[in-house]
Amino acid sequence: MESARLAEKTDIPPPFPYLDALAATDLFLVTGVTGFLGGAVVAELLAATFPGKLLLMARAATPEEGLERVRGSLKRFDVPAAQLESLTVENILCGDLANVGAFADDARLEGVTHVVNCAGITSFGKDPNVWRVNVDGTLEFARLLKRASGLKRFMHISTAMICGDKPPSVVQEDVSLTINGQHLVPYTESKAEAERRLMKEMKALPFVIVRPTIIAGHTRLGCRPSGSIFWAFRMSHALRMTTSPLTGMIDVVPVDYAARAVLHLAAARKLKHGIYHVGSGPSHSATFAEIDAAFVKAAGTDAGRAFYSGTVEEAVGRKASFPEIFGECNRRFMQMAIRLYGGFAALNTTFDNSRLLREGAPPPPKFSEYLGVCLESCKDVSIYVQAMIDFV
């Protein structure tokens, strides 16, 4: 199988040593388990034979419905049937950050030792609930977990893109919230505000913020778990242009690496810092020229036309040709997607990951090294259809 052949050549991240710090008495509460990163975190815990217990929060009317949703999410990561069957309704916490009070009295929360809070609205669209969930609900949830007397770590998953639209070429963790500029989407603005409030109120908690950079694909499964963000790189390749210089870099990590890094930090007995980037950093980020070359190689054909650096207005001005370039699509939607992606690409920035590496994490693979696996896994899905994932 082509994807298997490509996976063999991929520099798949080595295992993290986080299990060494976990005990049978630990109770991991993971939120957002039906999402991309949250699902990968749980899949990694199951694959690594986590010695403790799992409490998985899912939006559902009943534990049975929640269990069905969780198992369905984990199937995307090829979790074996035996591991899926090992999960029962006892592992399910029916909950939603939009209504924390509905599950606040669950007695199991008292025994939680580790929280990995991946829940949130991640849509690039203008969801009216984004502030209620990502800011107010997240803060209520953190306050609720203060009652867990044995809590060892509360990990809040944010995003490196809280830096706004005017970051330096390399973003450091401690200066991200002080950078001036506007946010490209409401999602990143809500995450920045959540961080400000959490850092102010949660000093009593063993609190850590983790900021993943762009998460795209999986080193072994490609886009089968999710095509989130990968459509943007396909779009750039199809247009034969980028809004960044060709030598510009973009910080991308696969979801399996991000999940392992999150767990590595969550389980560590002691951490030196309160904020960590999970990204490829300056040394393992790929240039836009490298990414396009990887697309050409993976497709097995010559691209025909040179890949070049252009402007957003130039790209959206080609709307008459969008059906020819992208296949059947909504031209207005594709113009909006180009403007959004073009804004991110034009930032030409990476995120310092030296804190993560100094905590013992291995460096990630370059995006260009596992891109072929991603492309093979979604070759029958149109760019337009794949892009819809990030705007629902």
pLDDT of 271-283, one tens digit each?
999 999 999 999 9
**Model pTM?**
0.93
H runs (alpha helix) in the chain: 2-8, 36-47, 63-75, 81-86, 130-131, 138-144, 186-201, 230-239, 255-267, 281-284, 288-299, 312-316, 322-326, 331-345, 354-358, 367-377, 383-387
Element (H, E) at 80: none
% the chain with pLDDT above 70? 94
The average confidence (pLDDT) of the chain is 91
Q: How many degrees, rounded to 5, is the angle at CA 175 between CA 171 and CA 181?
A: 80
- With tokens 């203008």, the residue in question is 126
pLDDT of 299 strictly over 80: yes
198 near 350, Cβ under 8 Å? no
- With tokens 């009943």, the residue in question is 62
pLDDT of 227-256, one tens digit each?
999 999 999 999 999 999 999 999 999 999
Tell which residue, 279, 362, 223, 259, has the closest CA to residue 46: 259
User: Which structural domains are found in the chain, ordered by start?
Assistant: 2-227+250-284+350-366 (3.40.50.720)
pLDDT of 8 strictly over 60: no
